[in-house]
Each structure stands twice: as C-alpha cells, then as structure tokens.
Structure 1
Amino acid sequence: MKSFMMRGGAAFSFLLLLAGCKGCTVIPKPDDTAPGSYRGLFLDVLKNRTLPRSVHAFAQTEGYRYESDARELKIVGPPASRLGTYFISQSSQRNGINLQAPHGDSDLKTKEIAELMCQEQSYDSCGINTMHRRSFDFAHESVSPFQEFTEAIVTNDPHALIVQLHGFESAKRKNGPEQQARMILSTGQDSRALRAALASLQLDKDPSILVYGVTTRELGATRNAQGGLIKRIGRGHFLHIETSLAFREQLQNDRKERDFLDGIIRAVKKQYDETRN
C-alpha cells in the first residue's frame, strides 16, 4: 500500500486507514472554498483512478492524506476541516452509484453506515463530511470541495446517481406516518423513477417507506446543495434518504438491512438507466 500525507493532516481514524506517514510534504494552502479549486483535481482522480497522477494534481492542496490499494483510492481530509473525505473505487466494474454522508457525525451512525456500505457494495465513490454541520453544513453549502467533488462525479459520468444518507428524529416529525417511518425518500424533484423502483420491489405500499411529494410533505431535500447542483446542470441523478434512528441502528448492526437499502438504491439506478435507454 502506498501512503502520502500533506502538511496539516492530523491523525484521523477511518475505516481501513493506516496510521502514520513517511515523508510528509509541505504544500501551500489555497482557499479551500474557492470555486474551481478542487473540481479539476477530483475529475483527474475519477478519470484516471491511479494514485501517482492524483498526488501530483493534489499537490496544490493542504491537509489531505492519500492511500491506495487494489480496491480503492482514499483521499482523507483532517478533522474539523471543510475538505471532506473521499473513497474512490479502483474497480474496472463501475455501477454509477456514489454514496455521501454529509452529516456523518450529527446524523448519528450515518458515517459508520456509509463506510460499511461503500466497502460491502463497491460503490464508485463515497464522500463524508469532516466538519460538524453547525460550523459548516456540507449538504447546504454550495461552495465547497464536497460540492466540487459532486460536480466532478457527474461531469465524469453524466448518468451517475448521487445518494445521500441522512437521519431524522421521529419525535420531531409533525404527523403520525412520519413518526412511524423507517425512511423518507426524495429525489429533490420528479419522483417517477423512485416510485417505479419501489413498485418493482413491492415496497410501494410499505407504510414505513415514505416518498416526498406522494406520501409526505416533509424532508424533501428541496434546498440540498448537491441536489440543486444536479438539477441546475442537468447531469446525474439524486436520491436523498432520511432514516429514523431505529432503522440506522439496524443498518449499522445487520448486513441484511444494509443489503435491503442497497436493493432500493440499485432499483432506483436501474429505473433511471432504463428510462435513458
């Protein structure tokens, strides 16, 4: 395994990430929220999927730790930074699915679930926040490396599905159905592909799975920065998954539950692909 670390990369515990580094390099720090500073760099990584060119391109940044093996390339931002952490699959078999946990700490267990699912399901990429939403909200800031990573994904693959995993508090929901729901799903816009996907799995009548604009008016992701970007530029698709704490506990502890959620994600991707074809 190759390992690289840039100045400012404090120790950061991440799934399968090895601690320590050899040969740290001092890199000038850019404005980490300047538009365009990261999109081209991320696009280079997504297109080439090899570490040497990626490290050369990312020499303009500060704070990331890089590692690669036969399975994936890891680009890990330090804690309490606006940089974010990203896993990029090295597999030649792409599935077009990109999982994000933009509130991985405040939406309890979503970081851990995202880490597990990215490993188990071999998604094309995975993105996780590195700063609490009270200080910098990765899902609502339209200018950030996280946003530019999203744009790079759909630039590289115009049919990519961006999936975001979130968490809600059942007691804070306004109505009974939302209080009892396992998850609330939204695409941020037209829900036809989502509804067709659930019907294909015979889940369209499941009262624990709500669809924004159809069976609920809550948690529709209508102001989500990444969803808004995809709608604005007309590339890629967006799936927003809100989950109850009880369901998140099941997802974290039970592979079958994670496979169940993955089945919904893949069914949505299939609907978009079939509509395109």
Structure 2
Amino acid sequence: MTAQLMTGTDLARETLERAAERARHLEAETGVRPCLATVLVGEDPASVTYVAMKRNRCARAGVESRHVPLPAATTTEELVAVIRELSEDPTVHGILLQHPVPAHIDERAAFEAIDPAKDVDGVTMASFANMAFGHDGFASCTPGGIMRLLDAYGVDPVGQHAVVVGRSPILGKPMGMLLLARDATVTYCHSRTVDLPAVLATADIVVAAVGRPEFIKGEQLKPGAVVIDAGYNPGNVGDVDFDGAMGRARLVTPVPGGVGPMTIAVLIDQTVDAAARQTALAAASV
C-alpha cells in the first residue's frame, strides 16, 4: 500500500482566492479594508519568517497587514498594553500574537488581552469555549485548517476513532474538540500516555502534534489510517516517520506543504470574516 498525499497547497490557494474576493466585495460595498495586526516580540528567526509569510499572504488577498515589532525585553504588562490598544482600534479587525513569546512573558495573559471578536488566530479562552460549544467564534487556525483538509479529501470523521497526539491549548486540545463536534470518537494522547503504540493501532485518524521529530513510526499505525502531521521540526521533519507512514496509511500530509499552508489560509479567511462582522455590527449600531 502506498498512501495518497494530502497536500494543503491547492486548497489553501483556493481559500485565499475566496477570501480575496470577499475582501474586495467588502471594501467596494463599505469602504472597509480588512486589517490584520501582527505582533512579534523579539527577533527569533523562525518567528520572523512566519510573520513575513503571513504578511505576504495578506498582501495577495487584499488584506492590510499592520506589523508591530517589539523588543525581546518587552514585559508582559507592556505587551498586554499594546494588544489592548489594538483591540480598541476600530481600523484593526484581527490580531495575531506570534508565538511562542520570550520565556519571561506570560503568554496566556497576552492572549487574553485580545478582544475575542478580533481573535482570528483562535487563541483566547473565549474562542476555545465558543468552538467547544459550537457557538460563533474563531477556530484555532491549524485545527481549523486540518478540518477543512479532511473535508477536501472526503474524510468523514463520523464514528471514526481519532487519536490526537498532543495537548497544547492552541493545537491538540482544540483539534480534539473539532473532531468530537463532527461525531468522531476522540482519544487524547501525550508524553505520559501508557503504551501509545497500542492506542495508535486502533486509530482511523491520527493527528500528530507533539513537537518531536518522527515520534510516530509507520509500523505503529493502523493499516489504511488517515495521518495528519501537524508537527514541524528542524530540517523540514514532521512528528511522523513519513516514509513509514506512506507505506501503511491511506492518506498522509507531507511536511512541509500539508497542514502549514492551511494554517495561514484560515488565519486570513477568518480576518475577512472578522472585518465583515465588525463592519455589520458598527452599521447596525448607528
């Protein structure tokens, strides 16, 4: 068996094209151009690269990008103040705090300073709660992108055993909630899981988000499983043994070119959504 690749490149391009069309329509109808503010603390090379990629995609989609670079020595209080100012700015529709932030900053406090209406990265507790309860809000971008990828490749989670390896608040945990909302049977695994291979052997859908290179081996997978590798490690290596998975699974996302493009596409799509909602709310309150 040789698995089919689940690439996110084409779907991301289509998502961005639709977002660009909606952004053009919104600006033509209301004069409002969607705006995403990106906040970067320090000069971590990977973070600098990620922010640049997101800003480039914004430009292609007709979304204004307002970048706020801050020195590495910025305190939690200073960062919170910057984010609150952006939250109160009516010309900013979405806010992205590039993470991780330097270790001395309380990242959760910074996330919670984001107005949920502008939380287009889906990182606040309010966004998580809305997503978990099926209310209007913004999904965490990587899990949201993965769900769109599953749909695009005809993977129906209903009744399937989905194993999420990882429990971060912006990837693993929301991923499980989104799969549960689609009637999958969800198991969370992590570094303290006893006999992970035995759990993986029963998984119809595997989402690897543990942050360890090639942590999941091909022989641990159930034959015919759908494997989503949301990991990214130095050397363009994911959390799954790619070659092993290709010989055992039915569908496998590559690294890079799988989940990554969808993360950025969902971020921009949700920024356009936020702009439309805020514009409609402002018009209704006049």
State TM-score, norm by structure 2. 0.34
Q: Which has the higher contact order (CA 8 A, sep 6+)?
A: 2
Determine which structure has the larger strand proportion and give its number. Answer: 1
Higher Rg: 2
Determine which structure has the larger helix proportion and give its number. Answer: 2
